Structure 1
Amino acid sequence: MDPLWVRANMGRPRGPRRLMAQSTGATFGRQEAGQGWPGGEYVCWPTRASDAPTLLYLHGGGFIACSPETHRSLVGSLVRRTKGQAWVPTYRLAPEHPFPAALDDVKAAYRHLLDVQGIDPTRLVLAGDSAGGGLALALALAIRDEGWPPPAALVTFCPWTDMTGTGASLEENSARCSMFTGDTIRRAAKLYVGTADPSLPYVSPVYGDFRGLPPLLVHASTDEVLRDDGVRVAQRAAAAGVPVSLRMWARVPHVWQFFAAVLPEARESLTLAVDFMRQHTRASR
C-alpha cells in the first residue's frame, strides 16, 4: 500500500481519460484556493439550464489518491445530464494529512459555495464516489450537527463508509471484485484514520445517526468488496426516516459510472442519479 505508487497510477491511462472527459461536452476550469475554497475545479455546461442543480462533487481515491482532474469524465457526464454546474474541491490526502483534514476541507468548500458563491442550498446536491461518497455522508452529518443550511440531496456511488472493515462483502467479494480485496481496504483505512477512532461517525458514516439528513441515493455493485458499505448506510438511513433510493448492479466494477461512454449500466446509473437530483431540488423549492 504505497500512496505514491497509487497516485501515479490511479489516473492512467491518461489519454483515454482525457478523451472521455472531452466527449462529455462540459467545460472544465481550475479554481485556485481562496476565501475558504481549498482549490479544485469548476465544471459547467456551456448553456446552463436556469433550474439545474449545483453539485459539490467529492472525488474518490481511497483518501490517498486522485483529484478533480482524474474524475473529469464522471463529473462531466453528470454535468452533461443536469445541464448545470459542479464544484470539485481538492481536499488534502492521507497519509500526510489524515482525518480530519479532508472533512475540514470539504466543510470549508461547502461554506464557500453558500457564503461566497451564493448557491441556494435547496438547489445544491452533495455527491461523491467511493471514498468521496463516504466523505459526502460525513459532510452531511457535520452540516446537520453545525446547524448549517442543508443541501437538497445526497448522491453516492459505491461509497466507502466503514473504516473498521466489518462489512461481510470484504471477504465474500474479495475473489471477484475487480479493484480491491478486503485486506487492501483495511490497510488503506489505517492511512486515513491515523490516530482517530475508526468508529467515529465522521470517520465511518455507517455508524452515524442519520436523522434529519437529506434524501439519499446509493448505487453499488453486487460484486465489489464495498457492497455492504453502501447497503448498510442505506438501511440505517431508511430506519432513521430518510428517503432512500438504493440500487444494485451485478457484474460491474467499482465506480463503473466512469465509463458512461461504453457501459450502458453506467449511463443508466447516471440517468437515475440525475432524475433523483431533479426530483429533490424541485421538491425543496
Structure 2
Amino acid sequence: MSTFTLPLPVVAFLLKPYFRLAFNSRLPYRIQRILLEAGAPLQQVPAGAVVRPLELACRPAEKITVGVTERPTAVLYLHGGAYTLGSPNTHRSLAAHLARESSSAVYTLDYRLAPENPYPAALDDAVSAYMQLVTEFDYEPQRVAIAGDSAGGGLAVATALRLIERHGVHPGALALISPWVDPGDRSAGKKADLVVNTAWSFDAADAYLGTGDRTDPGYAPMHGNLEILPPTRIHIGSEEVLYPQVVAFADKLVAAGVDVSLVEYAKLWHVAHAQASLVKEAADAVADLGQFLESKLGHTEGSSTASADATPH
C-alpha cells in the first residue's frame, strides 16, 4: 500500500484532540477502544507487507513480513494502550514498518486487556507467545527480540525478566518505545502531553493492577533484577509525561551493566512511531529501532545510528 507524508506540526495538531477524546477516563473502556480502533485505518502498512492472521498463546495474533515471507529472525511486538486498549489492528502499521526495517518477521499479539483481565493476564499471554515462537515455530531464542510501546514496552521488559528467571530463555534484544515500566508511580512531573494524560493512565494502571502488588516486577519491571536483561534500545520524547520515568529506568540499566542505549526525541510525541506512514521523522525513528534489532539478531554487524533530531545517550 502506498504511503504519503505530512509535516510533523500538522499531524501533531490533528492528533491532539483525537487523543484527548479517546484517552478519557470518564468514558467506558468499550468506547475508548472503539475510538482508538477507528483511527487505525489512517496508518498504512508499507508496500510489500504481508499480514497473516494466526494464534499465539491461544490468542489472536498476526505475523507481518515485508519482502521475504520466511525469516530466520523474529520480533514479538506488544502493543501499547495502558493495558486497557489497543490490538494488532491499532499497531499493524508500526509493526509492519518495524518488520521492513529489521528484516524480521514481526508477530503482534492480542493479549488480554484489563479491567476484564487484570494482571498477570497480559504477562502470561506474552510469555506463552514467546515460548511458542521458540518451541513450536523453531526460532532460536537469541534470534527473537521483544519490542513494545508504552504499556507494551513495560510488558516487553516484564516478559523478558520472566522468560529468563523462570524458563532460562534469553531473548535476543529489547526495543522499547516510551516504556511504562512503573505503572504504580504517581510522581509524574507533567499531567499531560500531546497523547497521554495522567487521569487516564492512572485509572488504567489501577484497572490493570487489580488486587496485585504495585512493586511486583511483573507489573512494574522497574523494580526487577535488571542486570539480566539483553541488549536494549529505548526511545523517548523529551516532552512526554513518561520522560522522567524512562530516563530513570535507563540510568538503572546502565548501573546494572546492561548494554543499553537511550535516544531522546525533541520533536516526536508519545509513540509517534505509530504514525510512521504519515510523518517522516516517525519513520526515521522506526528505522533506527529496526537497524538496532537487525544488528543484534544476527543479520549484520555494527550498531544503529540515531536520527537527525534525536539525542543518543
Q: Residue 37 of structure 2 aligns with which residue?
A: 11
Q: Which residue in the other structure is 2:217 paired with?
A: 201
Q: List alignment gaps of at least 5 residues for structure 2.
A: 1-24, 302-313
TM-score by length of 1: 0.90
> Which string of whole-angstrom CA distances, capped at 9 and with x for unpartnered residues, describes residues 140-184 of structure 1?
1101111422111000011111121244xx233x35x11122232
Q: Which AA in structure 1 matches 2:157?
A: L
- 2:281 aligned to 247, 265, 274, which one? 265
Letter matched to residue 160 of structure 1 = W
The residue number in structure 2 matching 1:119 is 139
How far apart, in 1, do the equivalents of 2:274 and 2:51 lie? 16
Aligned with 2:55 (options 32, 44, 67): 32
Taking the TM superposition and a 5 Å limit, the aligned residue runs for 1:80-99 are 80-99=100-119
Residues 124-143 of structure 1: matches in 2 within 5 Å?
A: 124-143=144-163
TM-score normalised per structure 2: 0.83
Distance in structure 1 (CA, Å) of the matches to 2:52 and 2:248: 36
What is the identity, as a one-letter code, of the residue corresponding to 1:161? V
The reply on whether 1:43 has 2:87 as its aligned counterpart is no
CA separation in 2, counterparts of 1:25 and 1:232? 39
Amino acid at match of 2:183: M
Match of 1:212 among 228, 232, 243: 228
Partner of residue 189, structure 2? 171
In structure 2, the CA distance between the partners of 1:14 and 1:149, relative to structure 1 (3 Å rule), is closer
Tell me, yes or no, if the aligned pair for 2:232 and 2:260 is still in contact at 8 Å.
Answer: yes
Could you tell me how far 1:28 is from its partner in structure 2?
Answer: 0.7
CA distance in 1, matches of 2:122, 2:136: 20
**Structure 1 unmatched runs, 5+:** none
SS of match in other structure, 1:77: helix
User: Once the 2 structures are TM-superposed, how far is the Cα of residue 15 of structure 1 from its aligned partner?
Assistant: 3.5
Q: Which amino acid aligns with 1:213?
A: L
1:52-89: CA deviations, max 9, x gaps? Answer: x3101111111011111111100010111123211111
Matched, 1:281 2:268: no
Question: Secondary structure of 1:266's match?
Answer: helix
d(CA) in 2 for partners of 1:70, 1:118: 28
Once residues 48 and 28 of structure 1 are traced to their aligned partners in structure 2, the CA distance between those partners, rounded to angstroms, is 10
Q: Where does structure 1 differ by over 3 angstroms across 4 or more consecutive aligned residues?
A: 48-51
Amino acid at match of 2:189: E
CA distance in 2, matches of 1:121, 1:77: 22
Alpha carbons of structure 1 residues 14 and 128: separation in structure 2 relative to 1, 3 Å:
closer
Looking at structure 1, the residues matched to 102 and 222 of structure 2 have their Cα atoms a distance apart, in angstroms, of 29
Are 2:269 and 1:253 equivalent residues in the alignment? yes
Farther-moved stretch of structure 1 (37-46 vs 208-217): 37-46
Q: Give the alignment partner of residue 173 of structure 2, picking from 138, 141, 153.
A: 153
RMSD of Structure 2 on Structure 1 (CA): 2.0
Identity across matched positions, percent: 33
Question: Aligned-pair distance for 1:45?
Answer: 2.0
